[in-house]
Amino acid sequence: MPKGLSINDVERKEINKVYQKLVRKIKPRLKGNDAELLKKAFQLAIKAHDKQRRKSGEPYILHPLEVARICFDEIGLGPTAVISAILHDVVEDTDVTQEDINALFGIKVGRIVDGLTKLDGLYNVESPQAENFKKVLSTLVDDVRVVLIKMADRVHNMRTIDAMPKHKQLKIAAETSYIYAPLAHRLGLYKLKTEFEDICMKITDPELYNEIALQLKQSEADRTKFIRNFLKPLRTKINALGFPFRTAARIKAISSISNKIKKKKVPFDEIYDIFAVRLIVDVDVEFEKNSCWQVYSVITDTYTPIPERLKDWITTPKGNGYESLHTTVIGPKGKFVEVQIRSERMNDIAERGFAAHWKYKEVKSNENVYDKWLNNIREILDANHSDALEFINDFKTNLFSEEIYVFTPNGDMRILPKGATALDFAFDIHSDLGYKAVALKVNNKLVPMGYKLSNGDQIHVTTAKNQKPKEDWLKMVVTGKARSKIRSSMKEERRKKGELGKEALMRKLKNMKVDFEENIDMLVKHFGFTSRPDLYYAISSEAMKVSELKIFEIENNKLVLKESEKGDIAPKDEPAKTKVVQNNRSKILVNGESADQYEFNLARCCNPVHGEEIFGYLTATSGLKIHRTNCKNATHLMANFGYRILKAEWADRVSSNFTVDLLIIGSDTGVGVIQGITSAISDKLGINIRSFNIEGNEGYFEARVSLVVINKDQLNVVLKEIRSLENVTNVSRIDKT
């Protein structure tokens, strides 16, 4: 953290104003000695952070104060969380110790601050980020406030990320996309999730972000007028129902619009749900459901509904507690309009998620909303993961955004992620049911274990006493619970088998009259295993035989390799020398210096073009790979292997050729489609076409074109020219899998 001058008088005055504003807001919620602890926390934090400044140059204390405000204002947390938020960085970044926090503020605040403090000494682990993620996520089942404060911390860091260097922005955005945005969704914090995704897109794909933002701004006046006309005939009719209501409009997030453009292969103008109209009724809990359906009836009497677009999350709330009635109707001028109907309570939960859930815990529809999910998290935490990355990957599968509803033979409903299989269902019911599953029936029909379930399926599981999980089961499940339980069972089975291998090895070394403990680690290293259990298991499964020890002789009670067995092979722990490759295709700077010091290549998954924003990923075996910052693999690489990421940029002058693959979609008029596309690319722009493949069907065509361009600017000219063709509806880059 940057060190600077102490806080001056002008800054101190501004800081006190920020603090007093926070105090005024939270004052009605203060009880007991909360006010005293709040003041004490502020005084400790301002003293501890006195000489620390953010990258922007402002006093660091403003950050924890803003995090505290977000906790209260935007997430809805109480005084304990606000106090903890003010203190969240003092142990990590100053001389204040965890013991000091416990003594001054009590064990409750102490535990939260401890959960928010990063782990030290993580440089020897595979992924320091994953270890810290695991520590924070592990607090979910004990005190969810740790995660919620961490969310507020991340929100403020993202809002002020412009002060950071670009390469650090990319890493932070990757972490946010990988864990924080999905977690915000799972906790029902939709506003934060949307903000996370939009800021990440602004960092990784600024051109598309700015293009969509401009289109939204240009269409704002027309959109406002349309919504006003849409609501006009509804207001009188809903007023006649006799209960208060209000209206609001929700504009689709820029990142969501981008995803839809890419997924549906349609232009901005053809996305019908860019906005949704929200109708919020103010009624008591017992009248909510009936009132929402009454409003639905008014809307569908006024406008023609699209039946398949009805989503009833009032009768069956989402797994994160979200309740709302969604329908799509045909509004004025034939435009599709999504309408969301909900109560004030439902809207509060939709806005504040997990934090609001506790406020309405007595409401029947909210009973155990998160308890089942937290139980799944608890089971994942209890599983024996080989490393933090394995834990994070299992955890992420519990952050699903799309759900299916399936049923037990007795009619009990279970919520699973979209894509879940029959075997996932068995583990979701109970671990033992999953372990011993031998046959599964879906809707009374026998199906494979990996059969993907659909909404409304009823599943019956047949078990056998001697059944045990197998390695190929991991390919048949998608949920974190199932994966962690299968792995845990296999590890236990592997450990038991390994004991037999260990006994065989101990007997062999005893017969050779050498000490087991003095030689075992050398044998593990020599034969290329990562751990002792791996060596034991290899012996028990006969992948390795103890007779292979004949290549050793004994010196001073230790095994040493015989002279006749020694070759010219370098020891396994000697690092391979960097191979310098002169790459004439492109000139790239890595950390400000020529990339020629590395063996580097452009990543084939995203084929970066000169001028596009890039980063370097130092692989374990294949040298340096150069990726686009918006590559589909970027988030995973940066979030989990940040220490392998290198800052990369193009040199100013490049004379190179880059291959780009495009997908062109349009209406097949039957005449001149191919000629029109090839003429625009080759004849008009003089671009070399490497390959061209086109398929047409019932008035629709898809063309896949491979081009050679010299830089990003030339590529943008090509894209603009193709989009201008009369029969083309969409053109996009193709990333390889």
List, by residue number, the catalytic residues: 92-93
CB atoms inside a 10 Å sphere around CB 117 = 20
Report d(CA 178, CA 167) in Å as an integer: 17
**Strand bridging mode 275-281 / 336-343:** parallel
CA 602 to chain centre: 25
H or E element that contains 543:
none
Helix axes 98-116, 34-48, angle to 10 degrees: 90
Report d(CA 409, CA 461) in Å as an integer: 9
DSSP code per residue over 577-626: PPPP---TT--EEETTEEGGGS-EEE-TTT---TTS-EEEEE-SSS-EEE
Please give the sequence-ordered ranges of beta strands (E in DSSP) within 480-576, or none if there are none: 552-555, 558-561
Report d(CA 183, CA 334) in Å as an integer: 37
SS3 of residue 144 by DSSP? coil
Report d(CA 500, CA 513) in Å as an integer: 20
Helix axes 145-159, 98-116, angle to 10 degrees: 80
Report d(CA 162, CA 18) in Å as an integer: 22
Burial class (CB in 10 A: 0-12, 13-18, 19+), 496: exposed
Residue 481: C-alpha distances to residues 21, 316, 321, 453, 681 (Å): 44, 23, 20, 17, 51
Helix axes 128-138, 145-159, angle to 10 degrees: 130
Report d(CA 535, CA 540) in Å as an integer: 9
Contact 643, 681 (CB under 8 A): no
